Amino acid sequence: MQTGPSLIGSMLVLVQFDVCEEIRLDQLRKILGARTVTQPSPKHPAQGYVRYERPPIEEPIDELVLESGERLSGEIKYYDYGVLSVLFQFPFSGDWDRLTALASRWVWDVDFAEHARRIVRQKVEHVAAAMTKPYAEPLSEDYLIFHVREMRGIPTAKQLVAEYGERIAQVVRGDTLTLAEGEVAEVLHSRISYYATDLAVIGWNAAFLYDTAAGAEMAIQLLEYTNSQLLEFRHYDALLTRELDHVYTQLDEGTGTLSRWRLARSATRLHTTLLDVAELTEHADNAIKFLSDMFSARLYKLAAAKVGVPDYRDLVTQKVRTAEELYRFMVDQFNQSRAFFLELTVVVILVIELIYFFKGRPI
C-alpha cells in the first residue's frame, strides 16, 4: 500500500505593478548589487530557445507569513519597461482535497496584492533614482500558479486529464464545489503539452502545471511575462482614455476661431502621447524573443489569449486610431484658424494702406 502525499509541488503567487515608464537596469544593478535573471531554458533539447532582450534583475525579499501561519519565500524582479514583479512561493504536499481547498482560499480570501504593495512601495523609494517618470498610482495584476512536480503513479497528461480533469478545473477556477461539465470542458480546452508526461492548463487568473521543476521554469517565466504585458496594455488603455476625454472636453467647449487656435497645444500633447504609446508598446512586445522554439511560442499565445492580452491590445489599437483621427482633425482646425488669421491680417493691412492712400499721406 502506497503512503505519503499523492501530490508534491509548489504554489506560486505572482503580483505585478506598473510603476514607471522605464527602469534603467544598469543603474539599478549598481543600487541593488542584484543578479540578472537567467534566460529561461527551452522545453526540449533543441537549438531554439526563449531569450530576454534585456533580462530583468532579480532580488530576494523577506519571507511572507500569512495569518494562517503559512510561510512563503519571495523574490522581486525589475523589468526595464517599468514593471515590478513579486513572486511568492509555498511548498505544497498533500492530496487533491487539500490542494483544492488551498487554491480556493488563496484565490478568494487572501489579499496578496496588498502584501506585495507594501513591499513594492518600499522598493520604489529605494530605487527611485533608476526610474523614469514614476506613476502616482501604479496598476497591478495578480496571478496564481499551481505547480505539481510529483504525483503518485506518475500518470501521463492524457491519464491525468481523464482521471482528475474535474479536480484540475476546480484548482484553476479556485472553487471547491463540483463544476458543470461545460465549465470543466472550457477550462481543460486551454491545455498544452510537449511530452506525454507534462501538462499546462491555463486560466484567466490561475494556471495548473504538471511538470518537473526544470520543465516548469519556462512556463512560469512566460506566464510572468504575459501578465506583465497585460499590465502594460491596461496602462496604455487608461492613458489613452484620459487623453481622449481631455480632447473631447476641449472640442465641446466651442468651435470658434479662438477655440480652434487653442487646439494646437492639445494636438501636440496628443501626438506626444501617441509617440510614447508606440515606443512603450514596442518595448514591451519585444522584451522576449522566441528563437525557433515553437512550443514556447504556442504556450505564450495560449496564455496571452486567456489572460486577455489580445483584447486589451485591440482596445489600445482602436483608441490609437481614434486619437490619430482626432489629431488630424485638430491640426486641420488649427490650420484653418491660422489661415483665417493670416488672411484677416492681410485685409487689415490693405485697409490701413487704403486709408492712408486716400488721405494722401505717405505711409
3-state secondary structure 222-261: HHHHHHHHHHHHHHHHHHHHHHHHHHHHHHHCCCCHHHHH
For the chain, the domain total comes to: 2
Tell me if 297 is assigned to some domain: yes
**Residues 245, 248, 253, 257: is their CA dihedral positive or negative?**
positive
pLDDT of residue 303: 95
pLDDT tens digits, one per residue of 131-172 = 999 998 899 999 999 999 999 988 999 999 999 999 999 999
Q: Please give the Cα distance from 241 to 235 (Å, whole number).
A: 10
Its domain, for residue 205, covers 7-226
**50 and 121 within one domain:** yes
> What's the gap between Cα 57 and its chain centre?
17
> Does a structural domain hold residue 304?
yes
In a domain, 95, yes or no: yes
Could you tell me if residue 362 is inside a domain? no
Of 209, 226, 243, which marks where a domain is finished?
226
Integer Cα distance of 238 and 102 in angstroms: 34
CA 341, CA 362: separation in Å to the nearest integer? 26
Query: How is residue 132 written as a grid cell?
Result: 523614469
Same domain, yes or no: 265 and 222: no
Shared domain for 115 and 182, answered yes or no, is yes
So what's the pLDDT on residue 255?
A: 56
> Are 213 and 290 contained in the same domain?
no
pLDDT at residue number 47: 43
Mean pLDDT for the chain overall: 85
Is the same domain home to 90 and 54? yes
Task: Decide if 331 is inside a domain.
Answer: yes
- Asked, for residue 1, whether it belongs to a domain, the answer is no
Question: Greater confidence, 222 or 248?
Answer: 222
- One domain, residues 254 and 212: no
**Tens-digit pLDDT profile for residues 195-223:** 999 999 999 999 999 999 988 998 999 99
**Cell 489580445 belongs to residue:** 310
Task: Give the per-residue pLDDT at 1.
Answer: 42
Going 158 to 159 to 162 to 166, the CA torsion angle's sign is negative
Contact present, 81 and 280 (Cβ < 8 Å): yes
Tell me 205's DSSP state: S
Q: Are residues 51 and 185 in the same domain?
A: yes
Residue 115 within any structural domain of the chain = yes
Q: What pLDDT, on the 0 to 100 scale, is given for residue 320?
A: 81
Spatial separation of the C-alpha atoms in residues 337 and 339, rounded to whole Å: 5
pTM above 0.85, yes or no: no
Residues 331 and 213 occupy one common structural domain: no
Q: Which of 161, 195, 226 is the C-terminal boundary of a domain?
A: 226
Give the end of a domain, one of 196, 226, 256: 226
Q: What is the pLDDT of residue 44?
A: 55
**The pLDDT of residue 122 is above 70:** yes
Residue 252 has pLDDT above 80, yes or no: no
Pair 109, 164 in one domain: yes
Q: Picking from 14-23, 78-87, 243-252, which range would have the lowest pLDDT averaged per residue?
A: 243-252
Torsion angles phi and psi, residue 220, rounded to 5: -65, -45
267, containing H or E segment? helix 257-285
Rounded Cα distance between 224 and 142, Å, is 10
C-alpha cell at 215: 520543465
Residues 282 and 259 in one domain: yes
Q: Are residues 26 and 144 in the same domain?
A: yes
Are 277 and 322 contained in the same domain?
yes
For 11-67, how does the pLDDT look when each residue is reduced to its tens digit (9 = 90+)?
999 999 999 999 999 999 999 986 666 656 565 554 445 677 788 999 999 999 998
